[in-house]
Structure 1
Amino acid sequence: MMTKRILIIDDEYDIRAVAQLTLKTIGGWNVLSAASGHQGLDKAAEEQPDAILLDVMMPDMDGIETFRALQANPTTQSIPVILMTAKVQASEQRRFAELAVAGIITKPFKAIKLPEQIAKILGWS
């Protein structure tokens, strides 16, 4: 079986580093990362990961804009996207639910549980 490849798009270095470490060591996945929405769009099109972990709140191009751009590109529109957000109000959750995202992980997340959460959302066993 091929090793899953996941792309983390988050402007915070610490979050990318922690997520990358746990997804690689616990999940056993290959992990790519991008520090901005624009960088993430390029990397997603170029690398074709199996899934994308996308931060909602980023400067310049936020996660929602990035998600819409991924959906608009035939090369990346079929890649499942999981949003990571600290916005947990019901109105925000409804807004995210209206998007065709695979799932939502709230921040702060428990690093050790991250691979399990992602696998559950995506149906990876």
Structure 2
Amino acid sequence: MFDIGATELLVIAIVAIIVIGPKDMPLALRTAGRWIGKIRRVSAHFRTGIDAMVREAEMEDMEMQWRDQNARIMAQHPQQEMQPLEEGAASAESRSEPGDASEDSLKSDTNDDQPGLPLGKPPAG
């Protein structure tokens, strides 16, 4: 980010030793470390906020695209053309194959109190 090379760091260290002095250098470095940590935390918080705003904007764009596409589909297929599937017919068609038992015979073989258990057999206890 700042593109500081080794020579620049050496110059900064020599100036810091001359100005601050070797005795107070550990305290100064500790203070500088704390300030750098605070700056990093604030920048991370700021970056998180920006990322959240970008995600919200993307979600709004996707929602607008979904609404437009939904409106286009609904215009192509008006409501009177679309009929819901009948519950019994759809489930029976999806489950039954040639030679399988009918839906009525499947229902009569099960106990309503304990789904999945055939009548006449006690539950395993």
**TM-score band, normalised by the shorter chain?**
under 0.3
When you count strand as a share of all residues, which structure comes out higher? 1
When you count helix as a share of all residues, which structure comes out higher? 2
Instruction: Using structure 1 for the length normalisation, give the TM-score.
Output: 0.18
